[in-house]
Chains A and B, each alone.
Chain A
Amino acid sequence: MKILVAVKRVIDYNVQIRVKEDGTGVVTDNVKMSTNPPDDNAIEEAVKIKEAGKATEVVAVSVGEEKAQETVRKALAVGADRGILVKVDGVIEPLAVSKILQKVVEKEKPDLVFMGKQAIDDDCNQTGQMLAALLNWPQATFASKIEVKDKSLEVTREIDEGLETIEVNVPAIVTCDLRLNEPRYASLPNIMKAKKKPIEQITASDLGVDTKPRIEQIKVEEPPKRKAGIKVASVEELVQKLKNEAKVI
């Protein structure tokens, strides 16, 4: 079995986001970038399945600018066998990403495609479901547990009411939740080894995919600031303020 894992390069989850003064977006210059956190879980799960002898190859793919190569390289350092970078400049919407991934899937013919359930930059939560639709494959979203069976997967999904278990036929798309596993750190020898692993570079136009945005971004603004609160000295004061000032209890 072959697993394709899609990874995205995003602003690191610890960075305090700053909105550009001209309202065109957020500041990305000289800002620390990392792999989208649940994509780390997706890679980890694929590598674990391979280590358990249930997969033969793990391929990491990223869609983005030249620097997204670092994100693919990081996936190689934690166990992916080879990488693919589909170069695109500028804004790319999940629909276009899923069309690009569809082409990559048609070429690579994986049995499973894993990715994070949501990217922490645009917070769209769309790409996996869209790719599943385009391929007419089943989707198992928000996965917190994956059991590989003969020709199917049993997946536990985190939903608003609790947990749901579904079975999906292979080939399938799985989008991973943060609780699926504990992503490993890359060891220094593995980082060195990853430098020798191949990364194929292609462009979206090589694949014949139109990436023109369908959504016009009119402006980006800061959220309204909360007015500063106060510190109370005691529990008594807190209860008194909630009762008589805020009037919420």
Chain B
Amino acid sequence: MSVLLIAEHNNKEFKPFTLNAISAASQINEDVHVLVLGSNSDSVAKSISEVPNVKKVIHVNNNLYENYLAENYSSAVIKFAESYSHIVCSANTFGKNLMPRVAALLDVSQVSDITKVIAEDTFLRPIYAGNAFATVKSTDKIKCVTIRPTSFDPAPTSGGSAEVINGDPGDASELSKFIKKEEIKSDRPELGTARVVVSGGRGMQSGENFKLITAVADKLNAAIGASRAAVDAGYITNDHQVGQTGKVVVPDLYIAVGISGAIQHLAGMKESKVIVAINKDGEAPIFSVADYGLEADLFEALPKFLEELNKLNTIQK
């Protein structure tokens, strides 16, 4: 009984959520092995071997894995799968794309997006945009599970020295080809892991007006989020979307500005520790989940909020 975790990385370093997935994996079983499929990715394998919860790293170093294509990745994963009781990865766009392909190749019914490990075969997962939680038990011999990273604490990054072994690549697929990635670089904290998130919705009225959000986010060292309506309207790019079909965030402080609070948006942020809503419609559903609600015109409230923040002697970072 060992768990095989598939690492998400960019060939230089692993993505932070890999650590949360490692935590969840070690709750399933302590014998956690990590599969690194990459190209010139020695540094990724090495840094993962230093995570104390990891018992073994399998590194497949081949230019097939320079870019992430589910066809190539899945054929490699299934080569190792038979020796494991569980195959896990994060339930972000990486894992959502990959794991079902792996599961179907193994004839396994996948358990998606778990928020809690109850037993080796039993998990808790949200359904209906988090409006209900299902406890489910997998009866397949190998269990394919994706993990909601924000529901698990990140594993420590140093102190371990797991063995790194080299693995053979899977079959090369000619079915698909990587063309390009338009990654939005930012010096801000990542939306998924930020301590504070300031989000704007349709009420912002334009992309230009998001500068009001940016100013507050700068002050609080926050990530910037958005509702689907704001992304659809073109105010901000898709990587900022919080909600059922976007990202799930659980910051210490979530400030929702001009967001009415459709259940699809609430699905992505209602586990935040403290929620602030600023909206001029006092009946907006966002107020039902807000710890502090301010019924006000955001165009007056946001500059004033910034002014008040500037008066504070210290601000937590």
- Could you tell me which A residues sit within 8 Å of B by CB distance? 11, 13, 16-17, 19, 26, 38, 93-96, 98, 117-118, 120-134, 136-142, 144, 154, 157-169, 172, 177-179, 213-223, 226, 229-232, 234-236, 238-239, 241-243, 246, 248-249
Q: Are A124 and B295 in contact (CB under 8 A)?
A: no
Chain B residue numbers with a CB within 8 Å of A166 are: 69, 176-179
A164 to B100, CA, bound (A): 19
Interface flag for B92 (CB, 8 Å): yes
Indicate with 1 or 0, residue by residue over B96-135, a CB within 8 angstroms of chain A CB atoms: 1111111111011111110000000010001111111111
Query: Nearest 9 A-B pairs (CB), nearest first?
Result: A129-B100, A138-B175, A130-B104, A214-B109, A133-B104, A126-B100, A17-B131, A229-B291, A138-B176
Chain B residue numbers with a CB within 8 Å of A13 are: 263-264
A161 to B180, CA, bound (A): 12
Chain A residue numbers with a CB within 8 Å of B194 are: none
Indicate with 1 or 0, residue by residue over B288-317, a CB within 8 angstroms of chain A CB atoms: 011111111000010011001100100110
Q: Are B112 and A165 in contact (CB under 8 A)?
A: no
Chain B residue numbers with a CB within 8 Å of A160 are: 92-94, 192, 239, 247
Q: Are B103 and A126 in contact (CB under 8 A)?
A: yes
Q: Are B305 and A238 in contact (CB under 8 A)?
A: yes
Q: Are B196 and A248 in contact (CB under 8 A)?
A: yes
| B80: min CB distance to chain A, Å | 16
A131 to B100, CA, bound (A): 9
Identify 14 residue pairs between A and B in the complex whose beta-carbon atoms are under 8 Å apart, listed by A's number.
A123-B128, A129-B98, A130-B100, A136-B175, A159-B181, A161-B181, A162-B237, A214-B109, A216-B136, A218-B134, A220-B133, A231-B287, A248-B316, A249-B312
Q: Identify B101's interface contact among A133, A215, A239, CB under 8 A.
A: A133
A26 to B131, CA, bound (A): 10
Indicate with 1 or 0, residue by residue over B131-147, a CB within 8 angstroms of chain A CB atoms: 11111111110000000
Q: Which of B179-210 contact A (CB under 8 A)?
A: 179-184, 192, 196
Interface flag for B20 (CB, 8 Å): no
Interface flag for B57 (CB, 8 Å): no
Q: Are A125 and B96 in contact (CB under 8 A)?
A: yes
A77 to B105, CA, bound (A): 36
A136 to B103, CA, bound (A): 13
Interface flag for B64 (CB, 8 Å): no
Q: Are A95 and B177 in contact (CB under 8 A)?
A: no
Chain A residue numbers with a CB within 8 Å of B196 are: 248-249
A158 to B110, CA, bound (A): 22
A161 to B111, CA, bound (A): 24
Chain A residue numbers with a CB within 8 Å of B287 are: 229, 231
Chain B residue numbers with a CB within 8 Å of A217 are: 134-136
A107 to B82, CA, bound (A): 32
| B140: min CB distance to chain A, Å | 5
| A196: min CB distance to chain B, Å | 35
Q: Are A162 and B183 in contact (CB under 8 A)?
A: yes
Chain A residue numbers with a CB within 8 Å of B69 are: 166
Chain B residue numbers with a CB within 8 Å of A117 are: 245
Q: Are A17 and B96 in contact (CB under 8 A)?
A: no
A204 to B290, CA, bound (A): 46
Chain A residue numbers with a CB within 8 Å of B238 are: 144, 158, 162-163, 179
| B70: min CB distance to chain A, Å | 6
Whose C-beta in chain B lies nearest to the C-beta of A116? B245
Interface flag for B273 (CB, 8 Å): yes
A58 to B308, CA, bound (A): 58
Q: 10 extra interchain contacts, Cβ-Cβ under 8 A, other than A129-B70, A229-B290, A238-B276?
A: A13-B264, A126-B99, A126-B103, A129-B98, A140-B176, A142-B96, A163-B181, A218-B122, A218-B137, A222-B133
A162 to B180, CA, bound (A): 11
Q: Are B137 and A215 in contact (CB under 8 A)?
A: yes
A84 to B168, CA, bound (A): 43
Q: Are A242 and B175 in contact (CB under 8 A)?
A: no
Chain B residue numbers with a CB within 8 Å of A222 are: 132-133
Q: Identify B132's interface contact among A19, A163, A246, CB under 8 A.
A: A19
Known: A218-B122, A219-B135. A167 touches B100 (CB 8 A): no
Interface flag for B81 (CB, 8 Å): no
Task: Output the residue of A133, A158, A214, A241 with the most chain B CB within 10 A.
Answer: A133
Chain A residue numbers with a CB within 8 Å of B126 are: 123, 223
| B234: min CB distance to chain A, Å | 10
A232 to B96, CA, bound (A): 40
Whose C-beta in chain A lies nearest to the C-beta of B291? A229
Known: A161-B181, A214-B139, A220-B134. A129 touches B101 (CB 8 A): yes
A230 to B290, CA, bound (A): 8
Q: Identify A242's interface contact among B71, B97, B135, B292, CB under 8 A.
A: B292
Whose C-beta in chain B lies nearest to the C-beta of A216? B137
A133 to B253, CA, bound (A): 41
Chain B residue numbers with a CB within 8 Å of A120 are: 128-129, 244, 264
Interface flag for B51 (CB, 8 Å): no
